[in-house]
Structure 1
Amino acid sequence: MGVASFLTTSDGEQVGNPRHLAASAGKLATAQRDLARKKRGSKRRRKAIARVAALHSKVRRQRLDGAHKAANALIRGYDMIVHEDLRIANMTKRPAQKPDGEGGFLPNRAAAKAGLNKSILDASWGVFLTVLAHKAESAGRELIAVNPAHTSRTCARCGHCAKENRLTQAEFACTACGHAAHADVNAAKNILRAGLALRRAAEAA
């Protein structure tokens, strides 16, 4: 799962992130400004509230539709699907301010983190994973969730793990064996490998 690409498979296929909320941000901002100018209790304010609610409802429908389409594609294409066991609530927490030692606080990363949080929530990973789980159960597909720790830093070819392996958001180059790949594809292969290991362990138990 990602923000730049909504999801990437170990086969190298990528599904783009539609960013539904971002696409409607202009209309929402206009509608919310219009709402703020309306007198409380007035008929015009009620209409303005309805316009804002309708825009949010449209975004929710678009997210759900996208989740169903992406999940259907995976269900049709694979008998076993492995995904990251993401703790989305923890990932979108506001960062705590750190004291600067002089009675104040260091520059807050909250603004940058807020942008990332909004992108994560806009991607609706939680909605997608819920839809995927239901569809996998109905279709008899095996669904495995794995710990995502270090999957983006580990070389899918030799297993070397280092933060230096991840050059950029999209580039992966192993400092040990020289293996180069798209970073998300490399991570997806590691996630698949972890899922297969869990499956073997369960079968052996």
Structure 2
Amino acid sequence: MAQQALSRKKRGSKRRRKAVARVAALHAKVRRQRLDGAHKAALTLVAAYDVIVHEDLRIANMTRSASGTIEQPGRNVAAKSGLNRGILDAGWGVFLTVIAHKAESAGRELIAVNPANTSRTCARCGHCAKENRSGQAEFWCVACGHAAHADVNAAVNILRAGLALRDAAEAA
């Protein structure tokens, strides 16, 4: 609403300056709320777990614009812009920065795992195939028949990969 009101104000006017200040204040409030949520969630995780494993996501790459040119835009450009907005609104980068600082200060271990194929690999037999993901939430292994929620299956794979990285680092 505030941005909509701002867009209707005449450039250079006193009322526009007031509207700009109002929009800036609202954005600052959202930023503080996001940071507060990140601090609370990170504190909960750091207090509960000695080892925290996460996917090493490239957020900047994930939020790039849809491929294509102005003359011939890529497919689903509007859907991609909505996805980008959702990714950036979630504040993953801020959360990972906050949890890294909290884990270091508390003496906890934070491990970043390569996200490649974590959601396509079966947590039971290790078979990796695109066909294992029939939908957004369903995981069904075509090799062994293991069925699970896709996020749970991926979380098991991420944890195993993180513990393997930790064991390899300790052995070296």
TM-score range, shorter-chain basis?
over 0.9
- Structure 1: which 5+ residue stretches go unaligned? 1-29, 99-103
| In the alignment, structure 1 residue 39 sits paired with structure 2 residue 6 | no
| In the alignment, structure 1 residue 125 sits paired with structure 2 residue 77 | no
Q: Give the TM-score normalised by the residue count of structure 1.
A: 0.79
Equivalent residue, structure 1, for 2:119: 152
Q: Give the TM-score normalised by the residue count of structure 2.
A: 0.94
The two structures, once aligned, show a CA RMSD in angstroms of 1.6
Equivalent residue, structure 2, for 1:96: 67
| In the alignment, structure 1 residue 165 sits paired with structure 2 residue 136 | no
Equivalent residue, structure 2, for 1:202: 169
Aligned residues: 172
* Identical pairs, percent: 78
| 22, 25, 45: which one aligns with 1:54 | 25
**What is the CA distance between 1:63 and its match in structure 2?**
0.9
- Structure 2: which 5+ residue stretches go unaligned? none
Q: Distance in 2 between matches of 1:181 and 1:113?
A: 27
Q: Distance in 1 between matches of 2:117 and 2:171?
A: 25
Higher RCO (CA-CA < 8 Å; seq separation 6+): 1
**What is the CA distance between 1:32 and its match in structure 2?**
1.4
| 3-state secondary structure, aligned to 2:45 | helix
Equivalent residue, structure 2, for 1:80: 51
**What is the CA distance between 1:107 and its match in structure 2?**
5.2
Equivalent residue, structure 2, for 1:4: none
> Partner amino acid for 1:116?
L
4+ residue runs of structure 1 moved beyond 4 angstroms? none
